[in-house]
Chains A and B, each alone.
Chain A
Amino acid sequence: MFRFLLVSFLFLASNVWAQDRTITGSISSDEDGSGLPGVNVILKGTTVGTTTDVNGYFSLGVPSDGGTLVFSFIGLSSQEIEIGARSVVDVVMSSEVEELQEVVVTALGITKEKAALGYAVTSVGGSQLEARPEADIARLLRGKVPGVDITSQSGVSGTGTNIIIRGYTSISGSNQPLFVLDGVPIDASTYSDRGFTQGGATASSRFLDLDPNNVAEVSVLKGLAATVLYGEAGRNGVILITTKTGQIGGPASNKKLEVSFSQSYFVNQVASLPNDQDNYGNGWQNNAAAAFSNWGAPFNQPNRNGLTDGTIKHPYDRAIWNGVFPQYVGARWNYQAYDNLQNFFVDGSQKNTSLGVSARIGNNSSIKANYGWTKDDGYIPFNEYTKHNFSLGANTQLANGIRVTASFNYIESQAIKPPVAPSRNSNSTQVSLFGNVMYTPRSWNLFGMEYERPDTKGSTYYRGNNGMQHPLWTLHNASDRDDVNRFIGNVGISYEIADFLNLSYRLGLDRTNMLNNYMINKNGVQGHAVLGRFETSNRNNMNYDQTVNLNGAVELSSDLDFDFLVGANLKSRNYELSQITSSEMFIFDFFDHSNFSVTTANSYYLRENTYGVFANMGLAFREFAFLNVSARNDWTSTLEKENRSVLYPSTSLSVLPLKALDISNENLNFLKVRFGFGTSAGYPSPYSTRGSLATSTNVFKTAGGTTLNSNSVSSFFANANIKPEIHKELEFGIEGKFLKNRVGIDITAYSKDSEDLIIDLELDKSSGYSSSTVNSASINNQGIEAIVSVIPVQSRDFTWEIAAQFSTLKSEVISIADGISKVYVGGYTGRGNIAIPGMPYGIMEGAVIARDYGTLDGLDHLQVNSDDRTNYTPIVDANGGYTYLGTGLIGDPQPDFVYGVTNTMSYKWVSLRVQFDHQVGGDMFSTTISTMTGRGILGNTGFDRFVPVVTSGVKLDGTVHTKQTTANQHYWPNTGVFYDENSVYDASVMRLREVSLSLVAPKSFLNGTPFGNASLTVSAQNIWHLAYNTPKDSRFDPEVSSYGVGSNVRGFDSMTGPTAKKYGATLSLTF
Chain B
Amino acid sequence: MKKTNKLFLIIAFVFAGYSCDITDLDQLNSPNAVTAENADLDLYWNAIQVGFSGWWSSNQTPMSQVARIECMTWGSTYENAYTPSSFNYTWNYAYSGLVPDIDAMISLATEKESWIHVAAGKTLKGYILQMMVDKHGDVPYTEAWKGTENPQPNFDGQASVYDVALSLYDEALADLGKTAIGAPGVDIYYGSNAAKWTTLLNTLKFRMALNKGDGAGISAALAGGVIDAMSEDWKFQYGTNRSNPDSRHPWYGGAYEAFSGPYLSNYFMWEMHEEKGIIDPRVRYLYKRQDLDASNEDLFTLDCVVTGTEPLWYRDPYVNAYGVTTSWPFCLGSNMVEADAFNAKGYWGRDHGNDDGTPPDGQKRTARGVYPGAGMYDDGNAATGVFGSGYGHTQRGGTTGGGGDGHMPMLMSSHVYFMRAEAAQDGLSSENARDMLEAGLRRSIEETMSYSAGWGTVGDLNGDGVGGIPEERSINNYVNYVLNAYDAAADSEAKLNIIVKEFRLASMGNGVEPYNAMRRTGHPTEMQSSMKAASAGTFPRLFPYPSDVTNLNANAPVRTDLGEKVFWDRAGVLN
Binding site for B on A (CB under 8 A): 283-285, 287, 289-292, 306, 319-320, 400-402, 426, 463-467, 493, 495, 503, 505, 507, 525, 530-531, 544, 546, 548, 568, 570, 572, 574, 583-584, 597-600, 603-605, 607-609, 611, 635-638, 640, 644, 686-687, 689-696, 698-706, 708-713, 715, 717, 719, 762-770, 772, 774, 819-822, 830, 877-878, 883-884, 886-887, 972
Cβ contact within 8 Å between A530 and B257: yes
- Complex partner residue of A598 from B50, B99, B150, B243, CB under 8 angstroms: B243
Cβ contact within 8 Å between A530 and B22: no
Chain A residues, CB < 8 A from B247: 700-702
Q: A762-B548, A972-B357 are in contact. Are A713 and B101 (CB under 8 A)?
A: yes
Cβ contact within 8 Å between A712 and B101: yes
Chain B residues, CB < 8 A from A820: 551-552
Cβ contact within 8 Å between A600 and B244: yes
Cβ contact within 8 Å between A465 and B548: no
- Interface status of B450 (Cβ within 8 A of chain A): no
- Interface status of B435 (Cβ within 8 A of chain A): no
Chain A residues, CB < 8 A from B29: 687, 690
Q: Mask for B540-575, Cβ within 8 A of A = 1, else 0?
A: 000000011101111010000000000000000000
Closest Cβ of chain A: how far from B95's Cβ, in Å?
4
Chain B residues, CB < 8 A from A400: 1, 3-4
Cβ contact within 8 Å between A287 and B50: no
Cβ contact within 8 Å between A768 and B33: no
- Interface status of B80 (Cβ within 8 A of chain A): yes
Cβ contact within 8 Å between B32 and A605: yes
Cβ contact within 8 Å between A525 and B147: no
- Which among B43, B257, B260, B358 has the greatest number of chain A C-beta atoms within 10 A? B43
Top 6 A-B pairs ranked by shortest CB distance?
Answer: A572-B22, A692-B33, A768-B145, A710-B47, A687-B30, A764-B553
Seed contacts A284-B299, A507-B14, A701-B239; 8 additional CB < 8 Å A-B pairs: A401-B4, A465-B362, A544-B22, A609-B23, A609-B24, A701-B245, A713-B100, A715-B100
- Interface status of B44 (Cβ within 8 A of chain A): yes
| CB nearest to A306 among chain B residues | B298
Taking CB atoms and an 8 Å cut-off, the chain B residues in 18-75 that contact chain A are: 21-36, 38-40, 43-44, 46-47, 50, 75
Chain A residues, CB < 8 A from B241: 701
Cβ contact within 8 Å between B99 and A583: no
**A41-B257 Cα distance, complex, nearest whole Å:** 88
Chain A residues, CB < 8 A from B240: 703
- Interface status of B277 (Cβ within 8 A of chain A): no
5 A-B pairs whose Cβ atoms sit less than 8 Å apart in the complex:
A402-B3, A530-B257, A600-B244, A695-B43, A883-B80
Closest Cβ of chain A: how far from B149's Cβ, in Å?
8
Closest Cβ of chain A: how far from B165's Cβ, in Å?
16
Closest Cβ of chain B: how far from A427's Cβ, in Å?
10
Cβ contact within 8 Å between B80 and A708: no
Chain A residues, CB < 8 A from B27: 607-609, 637-638, 686
Chain A residues, CB < 8 A from B47: 696, 699, 710-712
Q: A291-B360, A530-B397 are in contact. Are A465 and B260 (CB under 8 A)?
A: yes
Cβ contact within 8 Å between B23 and A693: no
- Complex partner residue of A711 from B39, B150, B300, CB under 8 angstroms: B39
Chain B residues, CB < 8 A from A546: 14-15
**A705-B301 Cα distance, complex, nearest whole Å:** 42
**A287-B306 Cα distance, complex, nearest whole Å:** 14
Chain B residues, CB < 8 A from A972: 357
- Interface status of B11 (Cβ within 8 A of chain A): yes
**A883-B152 Cα distance, complex, nearest whole Å:** 33
- Complex partner residue of A692 from B36, B140, B243, B363, CB under 8 angstroms: B36
Chain B residues, CB < 8 A from A877: 76, 532-533
**A715-B4 Cα distance, complex, nearest whole Å:** 56
Cβ contact within 8 Å between B551 and A822: yes
Cβ contact within 8 Å between A572 and B23: yes
**A637-B47 Cα distance, complex, nearest whole Å:** 33
Cβ contact within 8 Å between A772 and B96: no
Q: A637-B26, A713-B100, A719-B148 are in contact. Are A320 and B392 (CB under 8 A)?
A: yes
Q: A544-B22, A609-B27, A700-B247 are in contact. Are A764 and B556 (CB under 8 A)?
A: yes
**A138-B195 Cα distance, complex, nearest whole Å:** 69
Q: A507-B14, A711-B43, A822-B551 are in contact. Are A767 and B245 (CB under 8 A)?
A: no
Cβ contact within 8 Å between A611 and B300: no
**A819-B554 Cα distance, complex, nearest whole Å:** 6
Cβ contact within 8 Å between B259 and A574: no
Q: Mask for B250-268, Cβ within 8 A of A = 1, else 0?
A: 0000000111100000000
Q: Mask for B141-162, Cβ within 8 A of A = 1, else 0?
A: 0001111101111000000000
Cβ contact within 8 Å between B21 and A637: no
Cβ contact within 8 Å between A764 and B153: yes
Cβ contact within 8 Å between B238 and A768: no
**A713-B40 Cα distance, complex, nearest whole Å:** 11
Cβ contact within 8 Å between B32 and A767: no
Chain B residues, CB < 8 A from A568: 15
Q: A465-B362, A767-B146 are in contact. Are A709 and B244 (CB under 8 A)?
A: no
Cβ contact within 8 Å between A604 and B239: no
- Interface status of B489 (Cβ within 8 A of chain A): no
**A887-B145 Cα distance, complex, nearest whole Å:** 28
- Complex partner residue of A637 from B14, B24, B43, B260, CB under 8 angstroms: B24
Cβ contact within 8 Å between B360 and A765: no
Cβ contact within 8 Å between B36 and A763: no
Q: A702-B186, A702-B188, A717-B148 are in contact. Are A709 and B35 (CB under 8 A)?
A: no
Closest Cβ of chain A: how far from B479's Cβ, in Å?
31
- Complex partner residue of A464 from B150, B243, B363, CB under 8 angstroms: B363
Chain B residues, CB < 8 A from A611: 25
Cβ contact within 8 Å between B244 and A703: no
Cβ contact within 8 Å between A765 and B153: no
Cβ contact within 8 Å between A467 and B362: yes
Q: A530-B397, A709-B43 are in contact. Are A766 and B1 (CB under 8 A)?
A: no
- Complex partner residue of A765 from B15, B85, B91, CB under 8 angstroms: B91
- Interface status of B320 (Cβ within 8 A of chain A): no
Cβ contact within 8 Å between A609 and B22: yes
Chain A residues, CB < 8 A from B21: 572, 574, 607
Closest Cβ of chain A: how far from B504's Cβ, in Å?
28
- Interface status of B484 (Cβ within 8 A of chain A): no
**A94-B301 Cα distance, complex, nearest whole Å:** 74
- Interface status of B104 (Cβ within 8 A of chain A): yes
Cβ contact within 8 Å between B148 and A283: no
| CB nearest to A283 among chain B residues | B300
**A694-B95 Cα distance, complex, nearest whole Å:** 16
Chain B residues, CB < 8 A from A467: 258-260, 360, 362
- Interface status of B193 (Cβ within 8 A of chain A): no
| CB nearest to B92 among chain A residues | A765
- Which among B31, B358, B533 has the greatest number of chain A C-beta atoms within 10 A? B31
Q: Mask for B346-384, Cβ within 8 A of A = 1, else 0?
A: 000000000001111111100000000000000000000
**A918-B299 Cα distance, complex, nearest whole Å:** 48
Cβ contact within 8 Å between A712 and B85: no
| CB nearest to B97 among chain A residues | A715
Closest Cβ of chain A: how far from B190's Cβ, in Å?
13
Chain B residues, CB < 8 A from A285: 299-300
**A507-B22 Cα distance, complex, nearest whole Å:** 13
Chain B residues, CB < 8 A from A530: 257-258, 397
Cβ contact within 8 Å between B300 and A767: no
**A699-B101 Cα distance, complex, nearest whole Å:** 15
| CB nearest to B4 among chain A residues | A495
- Which among A603, A609, A710 has the greatest number of chain B C-beta atoms within 10 A? A710
| CB nearest to B237 among chain A residues | A703
Q: A400-B1, A764-B152 are in contact. Are A505 and B8 (CB under 8 A)?
A: yes
Cβ contact within 8 Å between B300 and A284: yes
- Which among B29, B146, B357 has the greatest number of chain A C-beta atoms within 10 A? B357
Closest Cβ of chain B: how far from A46's Cβ, in Å?
56
Q: A583-B243, A605-B32, A637-B24 are in contact. Are A766 and B549 (CB under 8 A)?
A: yes
**A568-B409 Cα distance, complex, nearest whole Å:** 67
- Interface status of B528 (Cβ within 8 A of chain A): no
